[in-house]
A and B are shown apart, each in its own frame.
Chain A
Amino acid sequence: MKLKKTVLLGAVIAGLLGSSMASANEEQFIGLPSYRVGPYAAGGSGLFGGWIDYMQLVNERDGGVNGVKLTWEECETEYNNARGVECYERMKKKGSTGNSVFQPVSTGITYSVLEKVAQDKIPMVTIGYGRTDAADGRVFPWVFPLITTYWSQASAIVNFMGQKEGGMDKLKGKKIGLLYHDSAYGKESHAIMDKLAAKHGFEVIKIAVAHPGNEQQSQWLQIRQAKPDYVVLWGWGVMNPTAIKAAAKTGFPREKLIGVWWSGAEEDTIPAGPAAKGFVAAGFNVAGANYPVVADIKKHVYGKNKGNMEDKTRVGSVYYNRGVVHGIITVEAIRKAQEKYGKGKALTGEQMRWGFENLNLDDARLKALGATGFMPALKITCADHEGPGKVKFQQWDGSQWKVITDWVDSDRPLVRGMIEESAAAYAKEKGIKPRDCSKES
Chain B
Amino acid sequence: MQFFIEVLVGGLLSGVMYALVALGFVLIYKASGVFNFAQGAMVFFAALTFVGFQEVLPGWLGLEADSSVVFWLAFLLAFIAMIVLGIATERIVLRPLVNQPHITLFMATIGLTYVVEGLAQMTWGANVRGLDLGIVDEPIAWLMDNYEIGVSKFDLFAAGVAASLVALLALLFQYTKVGRALRAVADDHQAALSIGIPLQTIWRVVWAVAGFVALVAGMIWGARNGVQFALTFTALKALPVLILGGFTSVPGAIVGGLIIGASEKLAEVYVGPFVGGGIEGWFPYMLALAFLLVRPEGLFGEKHIDRV
Which residue numbers of A lie inside 8 Å of B, CB to CB? 36-42, 44-45, 182, 206-212, 214-215, 217-219, 221-222, 224-225, 237-238, 241-242, 245, 248-251, 267, 270-273, 275, 310-311, 314
Contact = CB atoms under 8 A, between A and B. Distances in A.
B74 interface: no
B129 A218 contact: no
Interface string B238-281: 00000000000000000000000000110011001100111111
Given A42-B128, A219-B268, A271-B228, 14 more contacts: A41-B229, A182-B277, A208-B272, A208-B276, A209-B278, A210-B282, A212-B233, A214-B233, A215-B237, A217-B14, A218-B268, A271-B226, A272-B130, A273-B132
B160 interface: no
Contacts of B137: 245, 248-249, 275
A242 B280 CA distance: 15
Contacts of A311: 125, 127
Contacts of A275: 137
Contact of A250 (B128, B130, B150): B150
Interface in B190-247: 221, 224-230, 232-234, 237
B3 interface: yes
* Interface core residue of A41, A45, A314 (most chain B CB under 10 Å): A41
A433 B229 CA distance: 45
B129 A271 contact: yes
B282 A42 contact: no
Contacts, number: 122
Contact of B226 (A217, A221, A238): A238
Contacts of A36: 126
Contacts of A251: 139
Contacts of B277: 182, 206-208, 219
A249 B152 contact: yes
B217 to A, nearest CB: 13
25 contacts: A42-B229, A182-B278, A182-B281, A208-B276, A209-B278, A210-B279, A210-B281, A211-B281, A212-B233, A215-B237, A217-B14, A218-B264, A218-B272, A218-B280, A219-B268, A219-B277, A224-B150, A245-B225, A248-B138, A270-B128, A271-B226, A271-B228, A275-B137, A310-B125, A311-B125
B93 to A, nearest CB: 21
B130 A271 contact: yes
Of all A-B residue pairs in the complex, the 10 with the closest CB atoms, nearest first, are A271-B226, A210-B281, A208-B278, A41-B126, A238-B230, A182-B278, A208-B277, A218-B268, A267-B128, A210-B278
Contacts of A37: 117-118, 121, 126
